[in-house]
Amino acid sequence: MNELAPIERIEERIYIIRGKKVMLDRDLANFYGVETFNLNKAVKRNLERFPDDFMFQLAKEEINNLRFQIGMSSWGGRRYMPYVFTEQGVAMLSSVLNSKRAIQVNILIMRAFTKTRKYMLTHKEFAYKLRELEDRANKNDLEIGVLFKILRRMVEPPVKPGKKIGFV
């Protein structure tokens, strides 16, 4: 199955837009081996299967941000804003695109989404532990700083009163 699309290549095509992990219609069409136009046409024939939390169309600002992030060309043959599909939308595509390749690609994509979800959970746990360690180190730094001030006072020679200048 991996000769269809290596899971790493699929993972690279999962983006976070509007707080959701999504894939672009053109990337999905590429993985399925169909034209983007035909993929979207099949979706539009079955629009009731794709509510807003399964698929949505990008706004101009979102596509500009995405172009900047992934280096997409700003010109080309598209006359409409691309559609993106969430994990549930990709799963629903398997019922719309009924080919052996579509089924195999869908399995790979579901595995990629699962792998990214596990990675993100691990990443959050790691970030939490790192923050905890950083807080502890900062607290220790403050305590060590106080300790050094006390040690400096103990080590410095006492200040001798010198000649007084001025009026007494």
| pLDDT tens per residue across span 58-90 | 988 888 777 766 665 554 556 778 999 998 998
Output the pLDDT for position 25: 93
Output the pLDDT for position 150: 79
CATH of the domain at 106: 3.10.260
- E-only strand ranges, the chain: 14-17, 20-24, 55-57, 83-86
What does the pLDDT average to over 139-155? 77
Count other C-beta atoms under 10 Å from residue 67's C-beta: 12
d(CA 63, CA 65): 5
* 134 band by pLDDT with thresholds 50, 70 and 90: confident
Domain presence at residue 93 = yes
Domain presence at residue 108 = yes
| Residue for token pair 């990214």 | 116
What count of Cα atoms within 13 Å lies in the side-chain half-sphere of residue 133? 6
Q: Say which residues have a Cβ less than 8 Å from residue 60's Cβ, sequence separation at least 6.
A: 81
Q: What are phi and psi of 84, to 5 degrees?
A: -125, 150
Contact 30, 108 (CB under 8 A): no
Domain presence at residue 50 = yes
| pLDDT tens per residue across span 96-119 | 887 888 888 888 888 888 887 777
Domain presence at residue 42 = yes
Q: Into how many domains does the chain fold?
A: 1
144 has pLDDT over 60: yes
Domain containing residue 45: 7-119
**Greater pLDDT, 28 or 75:** 28
Domain presence at residue 155 = no
Output the pLDDT for position 167: 67
Mean pLDDT of the chain: 80
Q: What is the largest CA-CA distance in the chain?
A: 103
Provide the token pair at 67: 């172009």
Domain presence at residue 21 = yes
- Measured CA distances, 165 to 158, 159, 160, 168 (Å): 20, 16, 15, 8
Provide the token pair at 74: 């700003």
Domain presence at residue 138 = no
48 has pLDDT over 90: yes
Domain presence at residue 100 = yes
